[in-house]
Structure 1
Amino acid sequence: MTFRIASYNLHKCVGTDGKRDPERVLSVINALSADVVALQEVDRRMGNRPAALPADLIARETDFRLADLPRTGPESLGWHGQAVLLRKDAKVLDTAGFDLPGLEPRGALRLLVAPPQDPPFLLIAAHLGLRRTDRRDQWTRIAHEMMAARSPALVIGDFNEWSQRNGFEALHGYDLHLPGPSYPSRAPLGRLDRLVTSPGLRVLRMGVFDSPLARRASDHLPIWADLSTR
């Protein structure tokens, strides 16, 4: 059995044409054929951080549900701008959010996901800071969460790192996967969106989802990976 996980930075649902259009963002998400989707920048940045992606639109236009996770504010969809979508038959045994160190407020999400007929694994969804100094500290915090897990672990999200090696010193013993260029979406060059796996998780296939609509819907293209826990 394989399990598809994806990650998508929505850019607050503002596309490369300058238009805010949550419906086309959801069209891209639906096309990923994923079981779990980690989202970044689901909320607007200023004020009370209101949701840029409406929860009722997700319920109406997809067969995903929002994971039960903490939210930054009463009008927010996400925690530090992040949320996780689950197929309605996906099982999640535990959820939590935790803060990440750094100059700007950042956080990550932690879920214990149980794929059908496979052992559970720890999923950490993250959107890391803009400074490498902060990212190194953030990876130290995330690595602590991974080491404390009693199951295989995976981190996925927008890592904000252009280098293919530097900045990941805390991840000794883990595998870093780069599905491909995902930013900027109109002419992708940077492999900012990535995943990390621990022993016990295999990445069978991975890639960047590219389509004319995806190139307009956000400044990032989504990434995806097919996993096996056996």
Structure 2
Amino acid sequence: MTRFNVLLAFLLLFGTAGGSAVAAEPTRVRVLSYNIHHGEGTDGKVDLERLARVIQSVKPDVVALQEVDRGVNRTSKVDEPAELGRLTGMQPIFERNIIFEGGDYGNAILSRLPVTSHKNIPLPLHYVGEQRGALVAELTAPDGRTPLRLIATHLDYHSNDGERRDSVKRLEELAGEAPDRPTLLVGDLNSLPDSEVLTLFEANWKRSTSTPLSTFPSDKPSRQIDYVLFRPASRWKVVENRVLDEPVASDHRPLLVVLELAD
């Protein structure tokens, strides 16, 4: 028997029949949270190509975007989700939360993963003004078989936590629709790491990092208000957390989290 045949026999015996000698590649999901400030950077320029370059630089599987315009006067009536989808080669999903300057304003998702369905859920509203929402997308994980839920949101900014606390309850109800499904909650929560809002979330969600990673303001970040949360905790392992060093493209810096999905 030749050396090649010996090697081939070994691989067949231990790699396929044994089933344990060759380890399967882990399923990882690269998640980016980015409040894009309707595409306007700190230099006052609306530049979607610049934003697309920032996004593409870390090759995310999914991106949760906040403060997104579609057909709005201030951004020359551009369909920002569609344009960012074109520029990044990712599938755009957008849902309006309010009508603004002749167009739509809300949250968006960019996805390289297959999208099964999506819906927009209004969140509790305590003030006359901006309605908030949760964009819920049903995806298929990179392994090609595991259902994955992504909830992209942007919570209220007022100093009183009341609306945010009620939003936590509504988001908990959404996640409770499929409690065993691997679920990600991604976005601008307008809450500090030691806030009551994050404490409420952490009853059933796990934060990607226990150490604050400052994301705002982008020129000199001093506090974290952008997050990636996940559940059930047993289904996820955090591989990487980092804030991208991008001070100009938006008033927030993007947060990248790489997660490993367990069987």
Query: How does the TM-score come out when normalised to structure 2?
Result: 0.75
Q: Could you tell me the percent identity over the aligned residues? A: 33
Aligned 8 A contact 2:82 2:92 in 1: no
Deviation at 1:101, TM superposition (A): 0.4
Q: Against the structure 1 CA distance between its residues 120 and 81, is the aligned structure 2 distance closer, same or farther, given a 3 Å change threshold?
A: same
Aligned 8 A contact 1:44 1:50 in 2: no
SS at match of 1:16: coil
SS at match of 2:68: coil
Aligned 8 A contact 1:24 1:217 in 2: yes
Alignment map for 1:136-151 (pairs within 5 Å) = 136-149=165-178, 150-151=180-181
- For 1:86, give the aligned amino acid: S
Match of 1:62 in 2: 88
Of 16, 27, 35 in structure 2, the residue corresponding to residue 9 of structure 1 is 35
1:99 aligns with 2:129: no
Q: Which of structures 1 and 2 has the larger relative contact order (alpha carbons within 8 angstroms, sep 6+)?
A: 1
Which structure has the greater CA radius of gyration?
A: 2
- For 1:101, give the aligned amino acid: P
Match of 1:121 in 2: 148
Aligned 8 A contact 1:119 1:229 in 2: no
1:208 aligns with 2:231: no
Q: Against the structure 1 CA distance between its residues 14 and 70, is the aligned structure 2 distance closer, same or farther, given a 3 Å change threshold?
A: closer
Match of 1:220 in 2: 252
What's the CA shift string for 1:70-108, capped at 9, x where partnerless?
A: 4356943xxx52100012xx2122211100002231001
1:27 aligns with 2:57: no
Greater Cα offset, 58-67 or 188-197: 58-67
Q: How many residues align?
A: 221
Deviation at 1:8, TM superposition (A): 0.5
1:174 aligns with 2:201: no
CA distance in 1, matches of 2:199, 2:85: 40
- For 2:134, give the aligned amino acid: A
Q: RMSD in angstroms over aligned alpha carbons?
A: 2.6
Match of 1:190 in 2: 223
Deviation at 1:51, TM superposition (A): 5.6
SS at match of 1:182: coil
CA distance in 2, matches of 1:48, 1:98: 26
Q: Against the structure 1 CA distance between its residues 45 and 66, is the aligned structure 2 distance closer, same or farther, given a 3 Å change threshold?
A: closer
- For 2:213, give the aligned amino acid: G
Aligned 8 A contact 1:22 1:53 in 2: no
Greater Cα offset, 42-51 or 167-176: 42-51
User: Unaligned stretches of 5+ in structure 1?
Assistant: none
- For 1:126, give the aligned amino acid: T
- For 2:254, give the aligned amino acid: P
CA distance in 1, matches of 2:115, 2:216: 30
User: Unaligned stretches of 5+ in structure 2?
Assistant: 1-26
What's the CA shift string for 1:126-177, capped at 9, x where partnerless?
A: 1000131111000110011112215121101001012424223443132123
Deviation at 1:202, TM superposition (A): 2.4
